[in-house]
Amino acid sequence: MAPQTASWIILFLPIFMAAGILFFGQRSKFVSSGLAIAGAGIACVLSWMLFIQGADLVVSTNWINLGRLDSPVPFTIPIGLSIDALSRPMLVIVTTIATLVFIYSTGYMAHEEGYCRYFAGLALFLFSMLGIVLANNFVMMFIFWELVGVSSYILIGHYYSRDSAGDAAKQAFIVNRIGDFGFMLGILVFWGVTGTVLFSELPGRLDAFHGASGWLAVACVLVFCGTVGKSAQFPLHVWLPNSMEGPTPVSSLLHAATMVAAGVYLLARIFPILQHSPDALTVIGWIGAITCFGAGLIGLQQNDIKRILAYSTISQLGYMVLGIGSAPVSGVAMFHLFTHASFKCLLFLCSGSVILGMHHEQDIWKMGGLKNKMPITFLMMTIGGLALMGCPGFSGGFSKDLIIEFAYTKGPGWFWLAAGGVFLTALYTTRMLWVTFLGAPRSDHAKEARESPAVMVIPLILLAIPSALAGWPFIQKHFFPIEEPVGVPGWVGFLIPGIFAAGVALAILIYRGAPQKDPVLIPFFANRLYLDDLYAQIVRFVQDGTAKASSWTDRWIIDGVGVNFSAKATWACGFALRFLQIGNIQAYAFFFGAGVIALLYVLISK
């Protein structure tokens, strides 16, 4: 098949499948999941085909075109697909993980309601993400960016009769919109100055900023706001842990290859632009460093197995963003995105297996001793955990070390935050694994847990392979080009495994034996640094307060005094009183008649 056709099929097949599920999926579960898996599977095969062919390609058609008109502002917006060194491996990651998650979902969701809605949502999600990966311009990126937002809204709110799910879905959408506000403004500034939204043309037209690097930095940081929202960077990270209200496979998809990865992918996509603005890169690096450390702190004290993983995702995304800010090529961050996609997907699917085995119990302090009940899940989750912690030899170890070394070259602040993040990751991941799988069962569900069905376990095993191996150079070199940092002293290479080991050791020291509840309590971390509460207060007092005040003004000042009072004052003059008695239409007729008389008067007088 011609690569042009293949790329169109990859993009649009999932949306056709989503529409098909919407129309025909009500009839049978098999049709719903079958269509979704077929869409993802075909897209996956075609993506691998493009990846192996390795040819660059751009196909484009105009979506909006005012260019042929004699317009003062020539304007075209293309829908264009670019297949290049960045999008090819990303396509492979996204479609492969999606296929595995879709298959796994048939097991996980087998007895849940809303099966058809769920698979339609997954297919829409895949479509949106593929659009982001393939987009060759800012506007198309933004379009699919928003669609990712709405897909996540549908999926996070899947259990719609739960209040918490409804709130989480709404929050995810709105917080993402706040990020998108900045993104849109960034696009407007770029377009306003350079007159183009094409990624391929922008780097060549940056001269239009006339050396006013301030504006370039502003534009870059505005676009970065989109990443902050979508990739859950501080301070817009709050939606991500709440998004755990969705079904677990959704979390897996959301956190591994789709939504949150989109933000980092955007940065990689515009990296040729970002390179012209060191100030913007500094901002980006700091946000990443703060996020990777801060989320680690919060992760230490969470008790819900999915929330621990959620904060670990935020923290790892922080590393990726830091990687963009510190490394001279975007491949470094994309390398971590790649390894993270496989091990985080694995971890979430494992947690789903645990949750299903535990009859939808998610509190790790109700688990324990699951090692013998669910041996495969335990083994796979340990592999995923080691990769997450950055254990030497596992995939995450390679990619994370690389980012930390680049952070070192840019200054001690980023380096120590990133290195501290390694310690925290090791600590909370070991805690999670230990409390869940080792020791004695802490509840009846934990005593009766059983291994999950094959359709769920097989994707785990398939994902465990890249989680362990994807970091080794013989695999990595096919995916993303990276560089080695220069000027990093040898001790850094020893320090990071040491920090990792120290974190693991400390966790074992604290959680050995079988404590019934967490022996360490740090309310500041457990309450998520009180940021969620702060935001809730801001919404309540600032937003809703001004809203109420405006509403009051509208009702009592503008409408009350301005309209009703003047109306009454007019009636007081007496001449309008009669209309009240006669009725509305007559009053209206009066105005109309008065108009006609006035008209006749001027017509005659002219």
Partner 1 sequence: MSLFSPLFFLTMLPLVAALFIMVGARAQFVARWTSLLMLGLTLALVFQYRVAEGGFQFISRFQVADELGISLSFGADGLSLAMLLLAAVITMSAVWVIPPIKSRENLFYACVLLISAGVVGAFSSIDVLFFYAFHEVALIPTFLLIGIWGSGDRQAAAWKATIYLGLGSFVLLIGIIGLYLAIPSERTFDLLRIQELAQAGTLNPPHWVYWTLLIGFGTLISLFPFHSWAPQAYASAPAPAAMLHAGVLKKFGLYGMLRLITPIFPESIGNTRIPLFGFEIRYLDIFLILIVGNLLYIGLVTIAQKRLDWMLGYSSVMHMGYIFLGIAGLNQLSLSGASILMIAHGLSIAALFALCGALRERTGTVEFSELGGLARPMPRLGLLFGFATMAAVGLPGFANFPGELMVFFGAFGATNHVPHGGFDAIQIVTIIAVWGVVISAVYMLRAYRSLFFGTLPERWNGLSDLAPVPRYAVILLIFVLLVIGFHPQLVLSYVTPAILLP
Binding to partner 1 (CB under 8 A): which residues in 555-584? 558-559, 562-564, 567, 580, 584
- Are the C-beta atoms of 123 and 17 separated by less than 8 Å? yes
**Helix (H), strand (E) at residue 188:** helix 163-194
Which pair of tokens denotes residue 447?
């005593």
Q: How far is the CB of 17 from partner 1 (least distance, A)?
A: 16
Distance CA(125)–CA(254), nearest Å, equals 9
Nearest Cα to Cα of residue 6 among 112, 87, 99, 110:
87
Distance CA(172)–CA(190), nearest Å, equals 27
Q: How far is the CB of 469 from partner 1 (least distance, A)?
A: 38
Q: What residues from 61 to 90 belong to the interface with partner 1 (CB under 8 A)?
A: 62-66, 69, 71-73, 75, 77
Side chain identity, residue 558: I
**Helix (H), strand (E) at residue 78:** strand 76-83
Contact window for partner 1 (CB under 8 A) among 359-367, 441-449, 469-477, 545-553: 545-553
Q: Which of 102, 209, 398, 480 binds partner 1 (CB under 8 A)?
A: 209
Helix (H, G, I), strand (E, B) or coil at 298: helix
Q: Which of 83, 143, 198, 327 binds partner 1 (CB under 8 A)?
A: 143
Distance CA(197)–CA(278), nearest Å, equals 21
DSSP-derived letter for residue 65 is E
Q: Does 592 bind partner 1 (CB under 8 A)?
A: yes
Q: Which of 4, 54, 544, 582 binds partner 1 (CB under 8 A)?
A: 544
Q: Which of 52, 461, 508, 598 binds partner 1 (CB under 8 A)?
A: 598
Nearer to partner 1, 280 or 470 (CB): 280
Place of tokens 């309310």: 523
Q: Does 189 bind partner 1 (CB under 8 A)?
A: yes
Q: Which of 461, 554, 568, 575 binds partner 1 (CB under 8 A)?
A: 554
Helix (H, G, I), strand (E, B) or coil at 589: helix
Q: How far is the CB of 366 from partner 1 (least distance, A)?
A: 25
Q: How far is the CB of 223 from partner 1 (least distance, A)?
A: 13
Which pair of tokens denotes residue 173?
């959408």
Q: How far is the CB of 73 from partner 1 (least distance, A)?
A: 5
Task: Measure the CA angle with vertex 55, ends 53 and 60; round to 5°.
Answer: 125
Q: What residues from 524 to 543 belong to the interface with partner 1 (CB under 8 A)?
A: 543
Q: Which of 185, 475, 492, 529 binds partner 1 (CB under 8 A)?
A: 185
Nearer to partner 1, 65 or 537 (CB): 65
Q: What residues from 285 to 304 belong to the interface with partner 1 (CB under 8 A)?
A: none
Nearer to partner 1, 22 or 502 (CB): 22
Q: How far is the CB of 22 from partner 1 (least distance, A)?
A: 9
Side chain identity, residue 564: N
Per the document, the length of the chain is: 606
Nearer to partner 1, 520 or 580 (CB): 580
Q: Does 440 bind partner 1 (CB under 8 A)?
A: no
Q: What residues from 24 to 63 belong to the interface with partner 1 (CB under 8 A)?
A: 62-63
- Are the C-beta atoms of 430 and 504 separated by less than 8 Å? yes
Phi and psi for 484 in degrees, rounded to 5? -95, 135
Distance CA(165)–CA(440), nearest Å, equals 32
- Are the C-beta atoms of 201 and 250 separated by less than 8 Å? no
Nearer to partner 1, 210 or 447 (CB): 210
Distance CA(17)–CA(40), nearest Å, equals 9
Q: How far is the CB of 27 from partner 1 (least distance, A)?
A: 15
Q: What residues from 338 to 397 belong to the interface with partner 1 (CB under 8 A)?
A: none
Contact window for partner 1 (CB under 8 A) among 91-99, 359-367, 388-396, 597-605: 597-605
Side chain identity, residue 504: V
Distance CA(396)–CA(500), nearest Å, equals 12
Q: Does 508 bind partner 1 (CB under 8 A)?
A: no
Q: How far is the CB of 587 from partner 1 (least distance, A)?
A: 6
Site size for partner 1, by CB under 8 A?
Answer: 75
Torsion of CA 203, 207, 212, 216, to 10 degrees: -20
Q: Does 115 bind partner 1 (CB under 8 A)?
A: no
Nearest Cα to Cα of residue 267 among 201, 220, 316, 214:
220
Helix (H, G, I), strand (E, B) or coil at 486: coil
Q: Does 16 bind partner 1 (CB under 8 A)?
A: no
Q: How far is the CB of 272 from partner 1 (least distance, A)?
A: 20
Place of tokens 């998650």: 101
Contact window for partner 1 (CB under 8 A) among 85-93, 209-217, 289-297, 318-326: 209-217
Helix (H, G, I), strand (E, B) or coil at 19: helix
Nearer to partner 1, 178 or 505 (CB): 178
Q: What residues from 155 to 184 belong to the interface with partner 1 (CB under 8 A)?
A: 157, 160-163, 165-167, 169-170, 173-174, 177-178, 180-181, 184
**Helix (H), strand (E) at residue 560:** none
Task: Measure the CA angle with vertex 533, ends 531 and 539; round to 5°.
Answer: 105
Q: Does 144 bind partner 1 (CB under 8 A)?
A: yes
Which pair of tokens denotes residue 202?
């922008």
Nearer to partner 1, 72 or 487 (CB): 72
Q: Does 585 bind partner 1 (CB under 8 A)?
A: yes
Q: Does 510 bind partner 1 (CB under 8 A)?
A: no
Q: Does 279 bind partner 1 (CB under 8 A)?
A: no
